[in-house]
């Protein structure tokens, strides 16, 4: 199949080249663009039919005719990965690099294949080459930053992201990358500014919003912190980390009813977390102390007993939970 694909590719290209030789330069350019787009459309149609091998043949021809068009490269990249054939994609792009050694677009997509295959050092090498060949193009610097982050080379990643931000300011994914690095370095003010800009432009970066909440919390801006985590839960009610931070914030603020509500919701998902059930039990006891209705107090204390019993089921050596449970059981009248 590989030999057949290569043969068809060579035949197709030969026909196009022979045909183009008989046309004036302007007509050749137009014909190449039109042919590339035609191959692309056919490749995408074949992808929808899940005829991936045939799609690769068509998309490869689109790439060869429109070598600078990222759209064609992206489609070919996705098709190779959809087939689980990233290594074949690397081999193909290595060949393109040999044919076009100074083409930044080709080096970029070879780097993307390396990144997908987790060959991070090779990805860095290609993206570095892109930044040399196309120093005014932010894409190479962005991907270089991503690769360095995965290699845990934060300073190198930060330099790459800052360069991308200098070329095209305030791209959300770049600002999030910058914010994450500053956050990890403890540079909270710089991280906050980066996150705020990113989220103003694109509210979907939940990690950035979570970290921004932590920064606000650290600065004592509890209302702002709570707002960030509420927005996360609006976007994804299953975001348990944000819900736990919100519950702890409510507890510290002595908003025990709100804390109980959030801990109860968490307990339906994290069934085997003794610390969660312990926090729930404490919040239920403190809320019960605020209630004036004896029946409501009794009901809440009963639920607190259930919470501490669950803690001991999960962690029989938890002395604090046992002390709470012993006191609750010793009460003659829960009201």
Residue of 217, 224, 238 lying closest to 196 (CA atoms): 224
Domains of the chain are 170-236 (1.25.40.10), 258-335 (1.25.40)
Which of helix, strand or coil describes residue 1? Answer: coil
Burial classification of residue 150, based on how many CB atoms lie within 10 Å of its CB (0-12 exposed, 13-18 middle, 19 or more buried): middle
| Stretch 126-152: mean pLDDT | 97
Are the beta carbons of 201 and 185 closer than 8 angstroms? no
State how far Cα 101 lies from the chain centre.
32
The CA-atom distances, in angstroms, between 291 and each of 24, 207, 221, 288 are 88, 37, 29, 5
Write out the two tokens for 324: 């709470």
What mean pLDDT is predicted for residues 22-33?
55
As a whole-number percent, the residues of the chain with pLDDT over 70 amount to: 90
Tell me the per-residue pLDDT of 39-86, one tens digit each, with 9 for 90 and over: 999 999 999 999 999 999 999 999 999 999 999 999 999 999 999 999
Predicted local confidence at residue 109, as pLDDT: 98
Query: What is the rounded CA–CA span in Å between residue 95 and residue 139?
Result: 22
Name the token pair of 86: 């990233």
Q: What is the pLDDT of residue 332?
A: 55
pLDDT-based confidence at residue 10 (cuts at 50, 70, 90):
very low
> Token pair of 267, please?
């307990």
Q: What is the DSSP string of 166-205?
A: HHSTT-HHHHHHHHHHHHHHT-HHHHHHHHHHHHHH-TT-
- pLDDT score at 202: 96
Task: Provide the pLDDT confidence category of residue 331 given band limits of 50, 70 and 90.
Answer: confident
Residue 209 and residue 192: Cα distance in Å, rounded?
Answer: 10
- 320 contacts: CB under 8 Å, gap ≥ 6: 278
Read off the pLDDT of residues 89-107 as tens digits, 9 standing for 90 and up: 999 999 999 999 999 999 9
Asked if residue 18 has pLDDT above 70, the reply is no
CA distance 185 to 154: 9
- Considering the entire predicted model, what is its pTM? 0.81
CA distance 161 to 176: 10
Cα of 178 vs its chain's centroid, Å:
14
Of 134, 129, 133, nearest to 144 by C-alpha is 129
Looking at residue 16, its pLDDT comes to 41
């Amino acid at each position: 199949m590989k030999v057949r694909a290569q043969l068809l590719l060579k035949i197709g290209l030969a026909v196009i080249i022979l045909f183009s030789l008989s046309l004036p330069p302007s007509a050749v350019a137009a014909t190449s663009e039109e042919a590339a787009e035609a191959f692309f459309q056919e490749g995408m149609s074949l992808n929808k039919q899940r005829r991936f091998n045939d799609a690769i043949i068509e998309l490869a021809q689109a790439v060869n005719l429109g070598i600078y068009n990222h759209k064609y490269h992206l489609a070919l990249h996705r098709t190779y990965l959809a087939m689980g054939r990233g290594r074949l994609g690397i081999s193909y792009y290595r060949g393109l690099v040999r044919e076009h050694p100074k083409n930044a677009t080709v080096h970029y997509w070879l780097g993307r294949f390396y990144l997908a295959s987790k060959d991070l050092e090779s990805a860095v090498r290609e993206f570095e080459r892109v930044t040399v060949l196309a120093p005014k193009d932010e894409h190479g610097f962005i991907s270089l930053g991503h690769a360095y982050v995965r290699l845990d080379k934060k300073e190198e990643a930060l330099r790459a992201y800052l360069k991308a931000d200098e070329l095209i300011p305030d791209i959300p994914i770049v600002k999030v990358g910058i914010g994450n690095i500053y956050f990890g370095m403890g540079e909270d003010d710089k991280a906050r500014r980066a996150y705020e800009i990113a989220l103003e432009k694109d509210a979907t970066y939940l990690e950035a919003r979570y970290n921004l909440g932590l920064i606000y919390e650290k600065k004592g801006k509890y209302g702002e912190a709570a707002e960030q985590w509420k927005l996360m839960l609006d976007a994804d009610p299953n975001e348990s980390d944000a819900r736990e931070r919100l519950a702890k914030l409510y507890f510290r603020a002595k908003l025990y009813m709100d804390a109980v509500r959030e801990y109860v919701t968490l307990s339906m998902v994290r069934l085997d977390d003794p610390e969660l059930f312990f926090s729930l039990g404490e919040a239920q006891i403190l809320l019960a102390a605020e209630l004036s209705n004896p029946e409501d107090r009794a009901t809440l204390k009963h639920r607190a007993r259930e919470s501490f019993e669950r803690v001991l089921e999960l962690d029989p050596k938890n002395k604090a939970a046992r002390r709470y449970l012993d006191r609750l059981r010793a009460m003659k009248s829960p009201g």
